Each structure stands twice: as structure tokens, then as C-alpha cells.
Amino acid sequence: MPFERIAAADSDAERIARLRLARTNRVGPVNFASLMLRFGSAERALQELPNLVKQTGGTFVAVPQARIDDELARAEAIGARLVLLGDSDYPALLSQVDAAPPVLWTLGPLKPHTRAVAIVGARNASAAGQKMAQILAHELGAAGFQVVSGMARGIDARAHETTLTTGTIAVLGGGIDDVYPPDNAALYQRLREQGLLVSESPVGYTAQARDFPRRNRLISGLSLGVVVVEAELRSGSLITARLALEQNREVFAVPGSPLDPRARGSNDLLRQGATLCESAEDIIRVLETQFGVFAQPSPRWPVPPLIFPTDGQDGDIAKAARRLRELAGATPVSRDELIRLAGAPVHVALSALCELEIAGLITEVEGGYVAS
């Protein structure tokens, strides 16, 4: 899905429409991009969707405009800034990942750049682990890298605190105004004043457990690589590492004592091929080899939209939708495989799948799979 081909919004009305489309139930990042590439604007997509979904036998209800107005008012009250996919200041690295978030809220003076590394790890980190996070963050900051993390206790907090003066980005699971954990209220305020807070959740939203994997994909997506300092075998840090690999990012792990359960996850990453990290030099050396020229210009925005040529193909899309419903079942199937089996041109199958998902007739599950 060519997310980078979505052009900047050309009016305030279109910006608000994109926010409303992104907040509408069952319109995730993939369907958002599909709709934008099909119709060319969120305003037109919102106009067309009720009839399109009705034809599939499902229902479509856009998020009420009052809810969008409330979100905008909350954002204005705290000075948050709306950044849309296609804007010139949308983070360039994040725009390159699959299912890039169509909407971000940011708060703070820092601007993200492509020299960024994520440092993540255990919330109940050991003193040695926190010291290592501090050393790595300091050395990366001195080398000109921004440090990205999730504002959690332990490793995250230490990485942020160390790089407030050199550049640090905190990605939140809740809204941009959701201070979590509450223990980090002072850190949140300092990040707001010196660094950058980023969230794709609605302003005013309180994070739930299910939101943190989604947050973790932003942490890795904003970064050239992810460093895991301490992590248990079942932890959010390992989810971040997995997402980093899916996004073609480098993964680094700090080795730990086999007697400490907090090191089992990071040691397991090393067994699986992560790069051993004992200093920032290990990170910088790999990144300079992998991404030889950091000075490459960012993608040029806005770019012309690539609109799917589906006008006059409603019958083909309806036919593809029927075929997709026949193919989908209770067992999850990869989106790509389902589209291949539909036997229709890719843009037609994508449009049909998008309509079925928004209608609630096909459900997206984790990992790019769908089921009925």
C-alpha cells in the first residue's frame, strides 16, 4: 500500500475530514489509505461510504462530528498539534512503514528527524540495567541521535531523562494528554517543555492494555533501530523488537545475567540474531553500515495522490466482495493471500476488502490477517 503517495490536505475542511475518517469505527490505517487512494480525499470518502457499505449488506456510521469538535477543542486547550500523513512535518521514517498512522497528535518543541534510536526495556529494571540505559542514551545523544521510548517506568524513563537536552521522543498509548504512569507526571511535563510527546490516540483518551502494542509499532517506526536493555520473555519490549524486524529496523540487545529473569528476553533476542550491544559504538557502527548516508533528503511533500481507477467499476468491486466473503472464514487468512485468491485486479480487491471490513462483515486480526 503506497502510503507515501497520500498528498497533504489542501484545506482545513479536508484536515478535519481526515481526522473524522481516521476516528471512524473499523477504518484503521490500511483502510484509511485505501479510501484515500480510491477517492482522493477524506471528504469524498465520507460522502460515498454509507451507500457503498449499504450495498454489501452491512452498516456504516461515521463518528459524530461533535466528538471530533471535542477532540479539537481539547487539543487546542493544551497546545497540541495535529500532524496528518502527507504533511511536510510528518515523521519521514514513520511514513515508510506499513500501516503508517494517518493521524498523530504532537506536543513539545522538538521536531523528529531520521537519526533516531529507540531504547526500551523492563519497567522493574535493575540498577545495572538503568545505568546501562543511561550510558547508551547519553552516548547516542552526544552522537546526534534522538532517543525514542514509551515513557514507562524503568528503562524508558531513564532513557528520556538522560536525553532531554539532546533530543528525546515519548510515544504514548493514550491521548497526548494522558499521563501514564501517573508516577511520571514530572517527566511528562519536562518532555512537553523540552522534548516531544507523540500519540495516535484521540485527545482525552485513557490508555488500555490493548493500546500498548499499537504504541510500540510507533516507537520502532520512528527509529532506525531498537535497543532492548532488559526484558522478560513475555514483555512489551519484545513486541517492540518483533515490530522493528517487521519494519526492517535493526534490533540490538544488551546481554544480561542468566540468573536474572529480566535478562531472559534480551538474551533470547541475541540467540535469535539480534546485534549484541555493549556500547553506543555497537549501535552507530551497524546503523552507519545499514543506512550509509544519514543526510539523505526526506521525501518531498506534498506529492500527487495516486487515485485508484475504480470509477465505473462498482460491479467489479461488488463481484470481488462476494468472492472475498466466500473465501474468508473463521480461520484467519493473510490479507495478501485473500486478495490473490479473489482473482480481481489488486485495486479492485483492495476496495472490496475495505468495504467489507468497514461494514463489519470481515474482521482484521493481528499480523495482517482477516477473518469473517
Q: What are the tens digits of pLDDT across the range 78-95?
A: 999 999 998 989 999 999
**In the CATH scheme, what is the code of domain 3-63+309-371?**
1.10.10.10
Q: Cα–Cα distance between 154 and 351 in angstroms, integer?
A: 44
For the chain, which residues make up each domain, given as ranges? 3-63+309-371, 92-290
pLDDT at 327: 83
334 three-state secondary structure: strand
The widest CA-to-CA distance across the chain, in whole angstroms, is 65
> Which residue ranges in the chain fall short of pLDDT 50?
1-4, 293-307
Non-local CB neighbours of 73 within 8 Å, separated by 6+ positions: none
Report which of 68, 108, 107, 106 is spatially closest to residue 90, judged by C-alpha positions.
Answer: 106
Residue listed under C-alpha cell 469505527: 25
pLDDT of residue 301: 33
- List the CATH code of the domain at 92-290: 3.40.50.450
Which residue is associated with the grid cell 462498482? 314
CB atoms closer than 10 angstroms to residue 296: 10
pTM: 0.87
Taking the C-alpha atoms of residue 122 and residue 117, their distance in angstroms, rounded to an integer, is 17
pLDDT, tens only, 112-125: 988 999 999 999 99
**Model confidence pLDDT, tens digit, residues 41-53:** 999 999 988 887 7
pLDDT of res. 349: 83
> Residue 330 burial by CB count (10 A; 0-12/13-18/19+): exposed, middle or buried?
exposed
> Which of 90, 82, 134 has the alpha carbon at shortest distance from 113?
90
Among 328, 313, 314, 320, which Cα is nearest to 361's? 328
Taking alpha carbons only, the member of 178, 168, 273, 289 closest to residue 223 is 168
267 half-sphere exposure, CB direction, 13 A CA radius:
11
User: 253: part of which helix (H) or strand (E)?
Assistant: strand 250-253
CB 227, CB 252: distance < 8 Å:
yes
- pLDDT score for 311: 55
- The residue among 227, 226, 160 whose CA lies nearest residue 196 is 160
Residue 296: per-residue pLDDT? 46
Instruction: Please classify residue 10 by burial: count the beta carbons closer than 10 Å to its beta carbon, then call 0-12 exposed, 13-18 middle and 19+ buried.
Output: exposed
* Average pLDDT score over the chain: 87
- Cα angle 122, 127, 129 (rounded to 5 degrees) comes to 45
Burial 265-286 (b: 16+ CB within 10 A, else e): bbbbbbeeebbebeebebbbeb
